[in-house]
Structure 1
Amino acid sequence: MSTFPRMHVSLYVSDLAATVTFYTAFFGQPASKIKPGYAKYVLDAPSLIISFVQNPERVHSNFGHLGFQVETLPQLEERLAAARQAGLVQREEIGTSCCYAKQDKFWVNDPDGTEWEVYYFHEDAEFNDPRYQQEYDQTAESSQCCIAPAAVAEVIPAMAPMAFTLADTSAAAGAACSPAGNCC
């Protein structure tokens, strides 16, 4: 199975060592490359290259969030249990309607406050939960989707890697959005 095209993301970070510790636990694998001021992870599932450049002056955690959809509820439960065990979970939302979709999800924040959402899509919804609507109404520029709580940037010492791969490698796991186009 080909892993191309492969998405690439690069983030500025303030503390590379703390970032590597966090992402090794979150991704469940070590970095494929670590150099002074730089680290890179090459993931097969999802097909992603993510790199980190230490540059505290350019860190901006208010761009939105990153995330991935899992294929089944048992996969979400497995990832949530591993994230809880590693002390990464910031918030859990079960049966929430966000982005006009019913979802189960949890959130983690890396050491610089970058938010990651891991979610399972149940079905489309015609509304958003009221807790989101209040935040949408307060946002004059646009209606944001899937707003996580304010990031708590803590360095979590010596986290053990999670005992799962980031996503299923089966052919059915390739879609990051529902057939109706709902993604967060």
Structure 2
Amino acid sequence: MSTFPRMHVSLYVSDLAATVNFYTAFFGQPAAKIKPGYAKYVLDEPSLIISFVQNPERVHSNFGHLGFQVETLMQLQARLAAAQRAGLVQRQEMGTSCCYAKQDKFWVTDPDGTEWEVYYFHEDAEFNDPRYQQEYDQAADSSQCCIAPAVATKAVPTMAPMAFTLIDTGAAAGSACTPGGGCC
């Protein structure tokens, strides 16, 4: 049996237009599909299908984070520069030891507070950076890793208007994607 060809993630969002603006800048490509209350991106590297369903009532604040590992420091620097140009970077952590690994990374946060980590893995480490220790100690599960220090969330920068019109679906937005409906 072969490996899965592509990963799929679906996230609930509160404002689809803001989400599409953010992810178009972050991914560096437009959405592959946009429908009322729904948008989907198909990425080749990494192989990922990520969809967004507008449903403010189902946005979860207890979600951890998502991330991309890059293969070279040059790729990390290129992605960091692009994210900085778009005004997306929340913080940088270079030479940190997180999740028992030495890494260089930066973080972005989408309009609903979902954090994305873009990182380069240098090598395994026998310890975690001490600046994370207080958060580890306070966590219900002491085995958690990659708990980023709390920071004030800044507003998503105003970007160029989208090249399409989204239809405000109001309360019906939550029903735009149903199991078995083929929208995801």
- Normalising by structure 2, we get a TM-score of 0.81
Name the residue aligned to 2:128. Answer: 128
- AA at the equivalent of 2:49: I
What stretches of structure 1 of length at least 5 have no aligned partner? 161-184
Name the residue aligned to 1:100. Answer: 100
Note the C-alpha offset of 1:63.
Answer: 1.2
Note the C-alpha offset of 1:4.
Answer: 5.2
Change (3 A) 1:100 1:85: same
Structure of higher RCO (CA pairs closer than 8 Å, 6+ residues apart): 1
Kept in 2: contact 1:110–1:153 (CA 8 A): no
Distance in structure 2 (CA, Å) of the matches to 1:151 and 1:111: 13
Kept in 2: contact 1:109–1:151 (CA 8 A): no
Taking the TM superposition and a 5 Å limit, the aligned residue runs for 1:137-152 are 137-148=137-148, 149-150=150-151, 152=153
**Count of aligned positions:** 159
Question: SS of the counterpart of 1:17?
Answer: helix
Name the residue aligned to 1:67. Answer: 67
Name the residue aligned to 1:163. Answer: none
Question: SS of the counterpart of 1:92?
Answer: strand
Q: Max radius of gyration: which structure?
A: 2
Instruction: After the TM superposition, list the runs of 4 or more consecutive aligned residues in structure 1 that deviate by more than 3 angstroms.
Output: none
In terms of mean alpha carbon deviation, does 77-86 or 143-152 score higher? 143-152
1:50-100 CA distances to partner (integer Å, 9 max, x unpaired)?
A: 000000000013210000100000110111111111110001000000000
Distance in structure 2 (CA, Å) of the matches to 1:39 and 1:23: 10
Note the C-alpha offset of 1:133.
Answer: 1.5
Kept in 2: contact 1:113–1:153 (CA 8 A): no
Name the residue aligned to 2:113. Answer: 113
Is 1:31–2:31 an aligned residue pair?
Answer: yes
What stretches of structure 2 of length at least 5 have no aligned partner? 162-184
Name the residue aligned to 1:91. Answer: 91
Is 1:13–2:2 an aligned residue pair?
Answer: no
Note the C-alpha offset of 1:122.
Answer: 0.4
Name the residue aligned to 2:22. Answer: 22
